[in-house]
Amino acid sequence: MDQSSFTAFATPAEPSKGSQGGSDGTMLQRTADSLDEQKLTPLLAQLGEEARTWRFAVAPNPCVGAAVLSRGKVVAKGFHRVFGGPHAEVEALAKAAKSQVDPDALDLMVVTLEPCSTEGKTGACVQAILKSGIRRVVVGALDPDARHQGAGLEALREAGVEVYLMEGHSELEKLSPHFLHWHAPERLRRPRPWVIAKWAQTRTGQLQPPEDIGEGRWISCDDSRSEVLELRGRVDAIVTGVGTVLADDPRLSVRTPVTCDQPPLRVVLDSFLRTPVDSHLFKPLHEGEAAGQVILLTVAGADAGRWRALEAAGAEIHGLHTEDGDHLSLREVETWLWNRGVRRALLETGPTLLNSFLDRGYVDQVRIYTGDVNGGRGTSMGTWLADASLEDRLDRELGVDAVLEGFVDENRR
């Protein structure tokens, strides 16, 4: 291993003997004396590889793996497994705390990415590490976000923890390319939520089955539909078009056994307020069912009578501009969602709105269930799929369905 990639982390204010300037202005010192590089390099690689298993579940967050060691032996490993769930460091620390090893003997944490220093959906990992009493931390990559880069390492170092940066050993380009897209300058300049488009299609790529199959509505099998409920519980909003509301009258809820702290907002794109006031969206929730506020995004100046009636039914309504003098501007929709705090959105809609999102490059990730159904009605997604370039693609089977997941190629966004 190149010695220069294994460095202790120090600040410019307190340069240590033999230190060198880091590219971000921090001072990095070569000192590998007290750690066994031979073991750390493969451990970081292994943690990174395992962490990628959960790439679709955590995106836009990065895939992160962590290990707690005692005298050179791994006591516990942890991974970031689900968006909104515990970070890798927290999971590893919790497992280590439950192990037989004396807490005082836990002497090293190895983590593929710089620990976070700010509170997000979960507490800051830096605080969890400090609380654990572990005094040495090895990190495989810096946070790519210039606003936070080095802050986690610095906070640990200031608290007296020895921090070693093994830059280049957990390359984000390989482990979490999606996380780099999420931090691309253009995206930071004009932020919009991470959009996961999920759809069920027949073998011919249609989103509507033949009339006589699945009540004319269901294409995917029970297992797939249960999995979608889980996904709903891990997003901030479910977005659909009024076409789906009119055709299917969905509830867009999360149901037992899936639970979530904050049920996702239910957002309907409805340019002319065609959503019926007696839709299931406005019906009381059943026991074991959770659902967020119903929000109708419409064209500013939509019919005032319908506006009032839908508000009385329980909808929150916001007027936006149109894109082409007709439909809502998706750019404005995206900005609105972001400003409302939506970071991860699930697009569960019919072919019209789905293709609008895809055409404008607003879909980041797809999950496509191809059911055991021939034929179907409406537009086929076959052409899009034939052309699609998906990064980190995963093909799997679930019951009788074929499931395809992937990140939409950056150049096609």
Ligand X SMILES: NC(=O)c1ccc[n+]([C@@H]2O[C@H](COP(=O)([O-])OP(=O)(O)OC[C@H]3O[C@@H](n4cnc5c(N)ncnc54)[C@H](OP(=O)(O)O)[C@@H]3O)[C@@H](O)[C@H]2O)c1
Residues marked as catalytic: 89
CA gap 378, 206 in Å, rounded: 6
Nearer to ligand X, 138 or 297 (CB): 297
Q: Which of 96, 175, 219, 231 binds ligand X (CB under 6 A)?
A: 219
Q: Which of 199, 336, 362, 407 binds ligand X (CB under 6 A)?
A: 199
Q: Is 370 in the site for ligand X (CB under 6 A)?
A: no
Nearer to ligand X, 85 or 276 (CB): 276
Q: Exposure of 251 by Cβ count < 10 A (0-12 exposed, 13-18 middle, 19+ buried)?
A: middle
Q: Is 323 in the site for ligand X (CB under 6 A)?
A: yes
Quote the tokens at residue 128. 């969890």
Q: Which of 22, 86, 241, 406 binds ligand X (CB under 6 A)?
A: 241
Report the DSSP beta bridge partners of residue 371: none
Contact mark string toward ligand X, 17..56, x via CB under 6 A: ----------------------------------------
Q: Exposure of 340 by Cβ count < 10 A (0-12 exposed, 13-18 middle, 19+ buried)?
A: middle
**Cis ω for the linkage preceding 257 (within 30 of 0):** yes
For residues 253-272, which are near ligand X according to CB under 6 A?
269-272
| Choices 61-69, 94-102, 242-250, 382-390; region in contact with ligand X by CB under 6 A | 242-250
Contact mark string toward ligand X, 347..366, x via CB under 6 A: -xxxxxx--x----------
Nearer to ligand X, 112 or 365 (CB): 365
Quote the tokens at residue 322. 């149109």
Q: Contacts for 387-395 with beta carbons within 8 Å, 24 or more apart? A: 388/412, 390/366, 391/177, 391/178, 392/52, 392/55, 392/177, 392/178, 394/56
- What's at 324, amino acid-wise? D
- Least Å distance, CB 334 to ligand X, is 11
CA gap 199, 181 in Å, rounded: 23
Do residues 126 and 116 lie in contact, with contact meaning Cβ atoms separated by under 8 Å? yes
Q: Which of 44, 137, 197, 328 binds ligand X (CB under 6 A)?
A: 328
Quickly count: other Cβ atoms within 10 Å of residue 143's Cβ: 22
Q: Is 88 in the site for ligand X (CB under 6 A)?
A: no
Least Cα distance to 355 among 321, 372, 330 occurs for: 330
CA gap 295, 266 in Å, rounded: 6
- Least Å distance, CB 256 to ligand X, is 22
- Least Å distance, CB 272 to ligand X, is 5
Helix orientation angle between 125-132 and 151-158, rounded to the nearest 10 degrees: 30
- Least Å distance, CB 280 to ligand X, is 14
Nearer to ligand X, 10 or 381 (CB): 381
For residues 125-184, which are near ligand X according to CB under 6 A?
none
Least Cα distance to 151 among 26, 30, 44 occurs for: 26
Q: Which of 330, 342, 358, 381 binds ligand X (CB under 6 A)?
A: 330
Nearer to ligand X, 124 or 299 (CB): 299
**Size of the residue set binding ligand X (CB under 6 A):** 29
Which chain residues interact with ligand X by CB under 6 A?
Answer: 199-200, 207-208, 217, 219, 240-244, 247-248, 269-272, 274, 323, 327-328, 330, 348-353, 356
